[in-house]
Amino acid sequence: MGDTLEFNDIHTELKGSWNDGRLRFSKQSVVYKSHKTGKVDSIPAPELSAAQWRRVCLGHGIKLATSTGLVYRYDGFRDTDFEKISAFFKTNYKVELAEKDMCVKGWNWGTAKFTGSLLSFDVSDSPVFEIPLSSVSQCATGKNEVTVEFHQNDDAEVSLMEVRFYVPPNTGDDGSDPVEAFAQNVLSKADVIQATGDAVCVFKELQCLTPRGRYDIRIYPTFLHLHGKTFDYKIPYTTVLRLFLLPHKDQRQMFFVISLDPPIKQGQTRYHFLILLFSKDEELSLALNMSEDEVEKRYEGKLSKNMSGPLFEIVSRVMKALVNRKITVPGNFQGHSRSQCITCAYKASSGLLYPLERGFIYVHKPPVHLRFEEISCVNFARGTTTTRSFDFEIETKQSNQYTFSNIEREEYGKLFDFVNAKKLNIKNRGFKEGMKGADGYSDSDEDQHDAYLERMKEEGKIREEGDGSDESEGDSGTDTPQTKYIGLFQSDNVMLCVCRYDSNASESDSEADDGDSEEESKTKKPEKKPKKVVKEMKERKPRKEKKVKDPGAPKRPMSAYMLWLNANRERIKSENPGISVTEISKKAGEMWKQLSKDLIACAFREKKKKGGKVEAKKKSGGEKETKEGGNESFKSKEFISSEESSSESDHDRGSKRKVCD
């Protein structure tokens, strides 16, 4: 068996959400590193007091207890891992890995046991469930009842809000109330922020970039209190992941960045970073609200009772001692301007990108911290607007992409060498190394296809060919003005197409071809100046004026329906007593519709009857004409049809009068 045991994809529960990571057992310690946050939990081997192996929802898990009262739980082991882990614990830690079964009876009464920072609810000496007291935010008591509330995690899909325990009303041996005793046991280990006692020190009116404003910072032994004009924040030191001290590019200011998990909340906004801005010239003299012996005993020489110096140094020194975290500073990277950062833009805001020894951090809006171990690859891309800058793209293993744009091309060589030295995967290594010139970046556009430039060149060639064909086909003696394409020039963002307008193209071409012979000739004709073509602006047509109605103009005549309605309105009211105005209109419409149908049917019958009489008359008239042989005067077809139509119209008028009456 080796000196270490390593397991990947091991999970730990944090306020309702699962975080995966890597667990390593060594002779000196037990180390767990989270893949999501990079936070490291280290348990020294001499502090291990007990270990349990049990069946959990994600396979098998280990519960480790320390002599300091802390409890750690790790899940995701296989059944076959028990033997080698048990043997490793016996050999190196002198601790037996005991198997413990969970109670699955489903009972809701049992015994509450407080073991260190863990509340265990047991039935018949078997645990039913366990509550980490560090997840408790508040504890309230009632009559024979204790309510335990929990911190909420934004990453958890389902959150447990509270649990209520019923405590039987039995007095203890010393006469104490069991409800109060239960609540005090919970609060003694719960993560409840209470400002008890005086602050260790206070910093007045510090400029904070995220969240924005000026805050008074009170330093307490277990938490940090930010007091502003609008908002107050209490930040436990256990939520601080990292500390950064970063110099500004102007060398006159300093950023102090505090990374938080879980973040502080302001409404629906989450702040994962607390960013303070200091001036290097600002000095401070500070006296801690503690005695010298107490300072020496608690902080072991990291702090002294009286301190003086630059403000950013004192704040970072106090935070390092109380949080017990190392302060990360920029490494040996130096940009083109000898600064330790790169000016760039992320999303819509401009900021500074700091290459660190183990990652990148961008400040300040929004802050971004990327560790090398979570980076999949990087990419150097040409800027979209100009060739004087480039983009730096970072893709993480979770398929998230961060693009830092508008980086000066002089920074390319330094950044490329830094990424290459850190052995990060460069997505377009061959292409970019070919671009890399003496100044670290190529200024030519030959390696990238410019569609607009190619199109302009093609249009220039077409113009030249068209000019040549016009000269060959046209008459040489005519003086027709022509436009001649000279060339295409490009500079940075400007592209210029130069053309010459020549009124006598044949003469200018012959002069250019003759060369020296024209210089020697004495009868040289002066060249005509190019004519200026001015396009006359078309006159706008005046707008048509709107017609104004004459108030004295006659009105339109009423329609047939309205005339009929006015004449028959009273008759409709008498036939339908109590009818409303709207119903009168509806009834009149029905009657008018039926009246129209009756008129049409009547007219059709009369026309059909009249048509039969006319045909009979035609037949009798024809016979009479044939018999008498022309004694009657001849009537043309047009005369007969006009006479019939007039008689029909008179008849129809009479029938309509009958129907209307």
CATH of the domain at 289: 2.30.29.150
Q: Range of 262's domain?
A: 196-327
> Strands, DSSP E only, in 133-212?
136-142, 145-150, 162-166, 201-210
Handedness of CA 384, 385, 390, 394 (dihedral sign): negative
Task: List 259's β-bridge partners, or say none.
Answer: 242, 273
Considering only residues 652 and 95, tell me which one the structure prediction assigns the higher pLDDT.
95
Give the pair of three-digit tokens for residue 184.
């005090």
Are the CB atoms for 386 and 405 separated by under 8 Å?
Answer: no
Q: Which of 386, 362, 364, 360 is nearest to 373 (CA)?
A: 360
Give the pair of three-digit tokens for residue 568.
């028959």
Residue 484 has pLDDT above 60, yes or no: no
203 in a structural domain: yes
Handedness of CA 411, 412, 415, 421 (dihedral sign): negative
pLDDT in tens, 539-555: 556 666 666 777 777 77
Which of 99, 129, 155 is the C-terminal boundary of a domain? 99
Q: Which of 432, 425, 427 is nearest to 375 (CA)?
A: 425
68 in a structural domain: yes
pLDDT for 171: 60
pLDDT in tens, 386-408: 668 888 999 998 888 999 988 88
Residue 358 has pLDDT above 80, yes or no: yes
Are the CB atoms for 363 and 349 separated by under 8 Å?
Answer: no
What number is the average pLDDT over the span 607-631? Answer: 53
Compute the distance between CA of residue 273 and CA of residue 260 in angstroms, rounded to an integer. Answer: 6
pLDDT in tens, 491-505: 444 455 555 555 454
Residue 420 has pLDDT above 80, yes or no: yes
Q: Which of 98, 100, 102 is nearest to 57 (CA)?
A: 102
312 in a structural domain: yes
Task: Mark whether 151 and 245 lie in a shared domain.
Answer: no
pLDDT for 159: 80
pLDDT for 618: 54
pLDDT in tens, 149-180: 887 777 777 888 889 999 888 765 666 788 88
Q: What is the CATH number of the domain that holds 91?
A: 2.30.29.30
What number is the average pLDDT over the span 606-614? Answer: 65
pLDDT for 351: 92
Task: Mark whether 118 and 90 lie in a shared domain.
Answer: no
* Residue 243: pLDDT band with limits 50, 70, 90: very high
Task: Mark whether 57 and 85 lie in a shared domain.
Answer: yes
Residue 510 has pLDDT above 50, yes or no: no
Per the document, the length of the chain is: 661
Task: Mark whether 92 and 139 lie in a shared domain.
Answer: no
Residue 353 has pLDDT above 90, yes or no: yes
507 in a structural domain: no
Task: Mark whether 138 and 203 lie in a shared domain.
Answer: no
Are the CB atoms for 245 and 312 separated by under 8 Å?
Answer: yes
pLDDT for 345: 92
Q: Helix 505-514 vs helix 451-473: angle between axes, to the nearest 10 degrees? A: 100
pLDDT in tens, 312-350: 999 999 999 888 889 999 988 888 888 899 999 998 889
pLDDT for 274: 92
pLDDT for 523: 44
Look at the chain and report how many structural domains it folds into: 3
Task: Mark whether 86 and 123 lie in a shared domain.
Answer: no
Per-residue CA distances from 588 to 64, 230, 568, 596, 600 (Å): 95, 73, 9, 12, 18
Residue 17 has pLDDT above 50, yes or no: yes
Give the pair of three-digit tokens for residue 454.
């190619």
Task: Mark whether 61 and 153 lie in a shared domain.
Answer: no
Which of 327, 352, 381 is the C-terminal boundary of a domain? 327
Other CB atoms within a 10 A radius of the CB of residue 379 amount to 17
610 in a structural domain: no
Are the CB atoms for 203 and 216 separated by under 8 Å?
Answer: yes
210 in a structural domain: yes
Three-state secondary-structure class, residue 367: coil
166 in a structural domain: yes
Task: Mark whether 291 and 210 lie in a shared domain.
Answer: yes
Per-residue CA distances from 640 to 338, 626, 634, 637 (Å): 115, 17, 11, 5
* Residue 277: pLDDT band with limits 50, 70, 90: very high
Considering only residues 453 and 588, tell me which one the structure prediction assigns the higher pLDDT.
588
pLDDT for 487: 55
What number is the average pLDDT over the span 426-437? Answer: 56
Handedness of CA 362, 368, 371, 377 (dihedral sign): negative
Residue 375 has pLDDT above 80, yes or no: yes
pLDDT in tens, 511-543: 444 444 444 444 444 454 444 444 444 455 666
Compute the distance between CA of residue 513 and CA of residue 511 in angstroms, rounded to an integer. Answer: 5
Which of 121, 156, 188 is the C-terminal boundary of a domain? 188
Task: Mark whether 158 and 203 lie in a shared domain.
Answer: no
Q: Is the peptide bond before 364 cis (omega within 30 degrees of 0)?
A: yes
Q: Determine which of 163-177, 302-316, 424-438, 439-453 has the lowest per-residue pLDDT on average.
A: 439-453
Q: Determine which of 12-26, 207-221, 572-586, 632-646 has the lowest per-residue pLDDT on average.
A: 632-646
Are the CB atoms for 402 and 393 separated by under 8 Å?
Answer: yes
Average pLDDT, the chain: 76
Helical spans, DSSP H, in 146-269:
178-189
pLDDT for 292: 85
Task: Mark whether 201 and 307 lie in a shared domain.
Answer: yes
> 159 φ, ψ to 5°?
-115, 140
As a whole-number percent, the residues of the chain with pLDDT over 90 amount to 13
Considering only residues 661 and 259, tell me which one the structure prediction assigns the higher pLDDT.
259
Q: What is the CATH number of the domain that holds 130?
A: 2.30.29.220
487 in a structural domain: no
Considering only residues 358 and 633, tell me which one the structure prediction assigns the higher pLDDT.
358
DSSP code for 512: H
DSSP code for 545: P
> 578's torsion region: left (phi>0), alpha (psi -120 to 50) or beta?
left
Task: Mark whether 201 and 283 lie in a shared domain.
Answer: yes
Task: Mark whether 239 and 285 lie in a shared domain.
Answer: yes
pLDDT for 460: 78
